[in-house]
Structure 1
Amino acid sequence: MARPAMFLIVAELSNKMFYAEIMVEEGAIQNISNLFTTLQAINITVDNSLLIISQFSITTGLVQIYAPNETICYDSTQQLSCTMNDPSFDSCSWKLTAGNNVYALVNGTEVLVEPSCSLTLLKTSQIWQGTYNCSFSKGFITHTASATLDIALLPENIQILSGPQYPDCSVDEEKSLQVNVTCTIKNSTENYTMSWSFVGTSGGLNSSTNANGFISNSVIVSVQCKSQSDIIVTCQYINRKSQQESANLTLPVIYMGTPVCQANGDWPKAKASTTAQLACIGERVGMRTRPCLSTGSWGIETSPCVNRDLNNILQDTYSLLKGRGSPESIASDIFGRLKNSTNSTVSINTYANINASVTILQNMNNASANDLLASSNNILSISLKNSWTELTSAQSKNSSLSEQYLMSMEGLITKTHINISESLPRCKYANVELVSQAAEKNSSIKVLNASIILPEGIVKAVAFSTLSELLPTNEDTTTNSIILSVTLQNSTLKNDISITFPLINSRPRNYEIDCVYWDFTSSQFSGNGCDWTYTGVNTEAVCTCNHLTSFATLMSKHPISLKFQDEITYVGLGASVCSLTLCLIIEFLVWNTVVKSNISHFRHTALVNISLCLLLADCSFLASSFLSINHSNWCPYLVIIKHYCYLAMFFWMLCLSMMLLHQLMFVFHQLRKKVYLTFSICLGYICPLFIVILTFIAYQNGKENYYYSSETCWLVYEGTLKGSIYAFIFPVLIIVVINFLSMMVVITKLLRPQVSDGSKADEKDITKSILKAVVFLTPIFGVTWILGFFVLTIDLTEGPLAFFINYAFIIVNSFQVRDALLKYFIST
């Protein structure tokens, strides 16, 4: 007798769907099927209304499904397959009905779908239990068959805890403690056979509860304090196929004399060399852990607590990776839920929640653009910065969370169709901005204030304002711009791309900018194919690259160093120190011989003080050059000494110039030794002392990075007219100008001698020798430092000229004392 088959006819009327079932004999199925296959739709008039039949389904009769019909083992490999008599139906698909949910089955980590309509489950578990439907489709006809898979389940996670967590026998070793041990598993349809086993104790009363989707089994065990033996409690679950899963707990009993960590906050008193656990509270899942070290001190807490709604989304994406559900069908739902879950940054401000959110993005292959950007923006909030970096030692071995985020976003933006209108070609949030538009040749596109100039094409660019702070860099550089990912849709880059980045921090003088991109192969920034163009603007960086990817700028943490500058400085200063020492020794030896008048006394007094100040300053300079990190506390004292001694040197030069000027302007007025010594000491030592003291007070009482820099062990230069260095530059500049003006007056006076000066020939010869000293000393001690002013204003990144000026300053300044003294002694 022929078997009846059933047609399911789906009809549409006024946006409403109607269903009708038609029973036909099996022999007529093929003919009716062939008829429906040739039609796009059938119009039927029912009660004067037009029904448009757009879908037909034969649910039985042609498809055979082969699946295990008995209970199968947990964690086993199973195969299902479907066949159909009509070979023209070559399109096969699988679906799983679990409860009220229907999932499309695709290739994943636990599912293999073959074109021959066979399905292989690589690892049977709870998510694969349900009714499997295979469907063959052609045109508007779909033939289906179904089978139910019964899996003998096992708990995927058994949580075993004791209460109290640390039974305390340290007070009275004669007493007996009653400890409640609980095993908790997720609720399931499997009727487990549950049992307890004990080592070192025996079990008492046991109980079972079922609440909030979890089954908890508890038992009371007795702890005899004086026995001090290990107590091990094991709970075991056995399924219908006699498979078993167990968990055991060694009770961490605190005996008398046992090292402990004292109670701290909500952490209980704990036994040393163990790890304490606390359940996450509120709407968060997971267990907090904190090690109690062997020293009796608490270690760092690890808190993998994840918001329950985020955890549910995460588990859904894990199921998606396994093959249960297609990305196209659930992407919108996943990202919609993720957007809602991340709307409040206060509720997700932990590393665990950030990690879960990034993992969700990483697991998805397709998405809705608005929800994707909204949820991506939320987890980049500044308030979550610390949560991104809360890495444990185990987590730090893996690729960084920020790199995973960037990789996921790049893939999602590239693969996802972005629905942005032509009138509003951008989707902007506080931390993420996406631009997708057609660009003309060499036109400029702005994304988060960064400008992009590239050849014509459809440009898709996404910028991340805070991600640069999260991506790791090497020890010598730091990110100084947004992260900008640029792609061309359906085309390749033929010419270089130019990007102008606004810098987060202005570039200091002599600091290089590196234009880089993120290399996912090496998990670090790379500069291959990208160059920085110097423009003189310190608030932006112009980068030119020959490829497209995620770009950024890195700024060096240290200024450009000149080769051999230290060696030249040490040699020059060493020669200067030796020359100054020799000068002072010679002055001491010939003092009584050469000092025969007041003016000669003043000349040699000034030279001795200039030499002495410069000797102390150079020695301090050399000492600061050899300071190690361990002795960096000497740096502020050496800066004060250098600041004071260099200023005193110039002020004594000013004394020399002023006395020379006075001597030639007032020929018949000779200053007494006491007067000019008092004047010189006040001008040469008191004035620079006041300048140093006022500068020290004005710059946060000598605070580091205000008055001095520990890196250079010298005064701070912050920019034009900014920094304590100007408390040295301005006095020196004024003195140099006054010295030159004095020389001009003196030279003019000497070129027009008066008759009355004839009686003072000897004095005039001495005056000329003073002039020689000033003429030789002022250009060397003055012009050299003017060259140093140019060093402060010229950037080493500008090119060869900057290097020439810097080397000239180093060489001339290092050897200035030796040259000055040589010329002076030769002239005398």
Structure 2
Amino acid sequence: MDIPFEDSFNVPSSRIYQDSLQAIQLQTAKYILTVSNIKLKFRRGSTIGDYSITTTTTTSFSETVVEAVNVGIFTELAKKYLMVYTSPQPLKFDPLPVFFEGNLIITCGPPPENLNLSSGLTAEWRLNGQVIPGDDLHKLQLQNVTATLTVLKVFSTDSGLYECTLKYNNTAFRQSGTFTFSLDSLCNDKEFGVGNENDEAVGPCPKDTVGNRTAVCRKKQTGTGSWEIKTNTCILKPLQELLVQSQNLNSNSLPAFLKVLSDTTTNSSQDVIGSPANIVATVEILNNIAKLNISITATLMTDILLVAGVLTGDGATASWNSLNNDNQTIAITSTSPPANSISSELLRSLETITTRLTNESFNIVTPLILLNKTILTKNFDADFAFSNSSVGVVIPDSDGGQRSITVLSFASMDNVLPPRDANNLTGNVINGRVVLVYSNGSVNNVLFKFAVKNNTLANPQCVFWNFSLFNSVGGWDNKGCKLVSNINKTVTCNCNHLTSFSILMSPYSPESPVLSYITYIGVSISIASLVICLIIEAVIWKKIRKNNTSYLRHVSIVNIALSLLIANIWFIIGAAISDAKPTNPPACNAATFFIHFFYLALFFWMLASALLLLYRTVNVFDGGLSKTSMLAFGFILGYGAPLIIVIITIAVTAPKEIYVSDNGVCWLNWEESYALLAFVIPALVIVGINLVILLVVIFKLLRRRSVGDAVQAAERHVLVIIARTLAVLTPFFGLTWGLGVGTLANPGNMGIHIAFAFFNSLQGFFILVFGTLLDKKVRSELTMKSQSSRPGTGSTSAGISSRFDIFRNWRKPRDGYNMSSSASGGPHSAANSR
């Protein structure tokens, strides 16, 4: 209460005591029905009233109830007295810590809704008891029932106790908090100043460069901080001048311009290639030159190739990696493309400039790029060699008439172009020289002979750079190109068009004994678990036919186990076929067909089980489809749908000999036909559907807590078992085959292969445990079967029973509920508000 304290307030006959007591009695009667005694006492601090209550039960009260009582008492007394509600929550300071001259925002409120403070209230801020006025350094705002104080520049004098008071009529809401100014900043240097973690600052460029740099304050593991460059648009002043000049070139100014550009990039090569911004600026200059409709002589082309050689050298690898992995734009000019397309723009510029060469034959040799332009009427056959590799280009006889062939061979363009292919896979390596071929005539048959740079790589792909891939970012594509041979460290490719070509090869994954052991031992364990599961189901089969839902659940489990068992058997057969020399393609096709079919059947039977669960839950255990109808639906979905998918897959891909993988494994093809998607997509879609069904069923079961007769109780038990089985198997199978997709995305990662083999081997075991053994009725039937088959000694049956009790005890919660009641009351106190 905002009134001076008097000792007389503690006299029970005083008005304040009576009013306060009546307010407490009124509010506790609303929320706490078992109050037996109330104690009230006032003390100084304006006037603070403390009260405690004693109840006739030992039940504790929630924070919500306590707050409702306090607010109710406060509201009731506010009708007669000026009341101040002191919030138990401190003011919110953002950010923390705050350093010298940093910004600080302090938020006050909102007050509890029950206080009925309207939007017409006023706000007052105090620091160490002194009122804070609004000025150039302190911005006060009040929106609805929330007040904010913004300190635009924090100094040491801004430390202390902040207090905010929101007033409306006889009611006030007060909130306080202590702020401590931090003398030590996390990041502090001359260029970017001081800052806290994740703060951003703009700093100047180094000497002889123009632009700006943005840095972020990062905290290190040692606890110290430093500014890390986020964006850098600083470029050399000479490059900036050349960039501006390149927008206004003509045939007269171009020769001198290219000479200066060549000298600048060559003399300052380390500065150019060490900065992504300088590389972007240079590529934009070449882009502007490519847009000119001017003939390029051998002399001019030599300067251009010297510039390109600087950009493609080994020293530029780090800068190109940074650009290729960045989808933002380094805004050197208003037309700058995204950073990850700069490499593509460089190659496009060189291709365009090549088309402008004068109509004469000549050779240009630079340290990193070779160019040959030939005017011919017959075939073309030439080798372009560097110190450690070469590439040969063969173009058969033309159809008559004169034509020109221009070939550029790059020693280190692999530093520039990322190895991503049309499938967006980056596990490959550019393992040959990049060669650009252009002709002013029609060429639809060209042969390339690439000398491989790394003999440890395998699986060559003949590719060209497709500028339109990935929304014009660009990538390697194999359309129109095919592998002819891979002999004696030379890969021969044939293509039906001209552009920039190379070969992609992937790391060779050696045979791993660990992977083999995990695979074969795991599959054996899985097969053994599935056999045990089917034996158990056969033993108890007659006992589970009484309840339709239970019967259909076990039908699903049997078919899930049977499908995985047959798939595992065919997996072993397929592995034997793959290892055989020579391989047997028809047998491998058959193995792939059955592995594909039964793995799909496994997932579709899981879907059937989930749909059964959903149907029986939504229909509230009443009537509906007959057992025969649901059984027919299960078999049609479980085996019919997979059969259709498998037949369509083999019909589309087998005639083109792209049904089975070409890496010697009896499994669906990925690289050429994407036949593997016929398994991956249905499997992952079913996983998603099952998870949605589980959420719906769990929601329904939680809302339907009460159980009627014994039949409904048994039905509910079966549904819970089905839900639990799906809740475990669905994400487990999803994770397993997600790892399977990972082995395709990163085939050289042995860790993913081992993880996939491990989880794949546990599938049968999980079906046995969660589909069968954790069902208490199954265990009960097995116990009775065991007892009836071994009569005579109580110890035997008890031993069997105790073994099955392991499962029961394992499933019990570790903690229980201990409920008791007492007639004696216990005190419950809650502090009143000021």
Higher relative contact order (CA 8 A, sep 6+): 2
With structure 2 as the length reference, what TM-score do the two structures score? Answer: 0.37
Relative to its length, the structure with more strand (as a share) is 1
With structure 1 as the length reference, what TM-score do the two structures score? Answer: 0.37
Say which one has the larger Rg: 1
Relative to its length, the structure with more helix (as a share) is 2
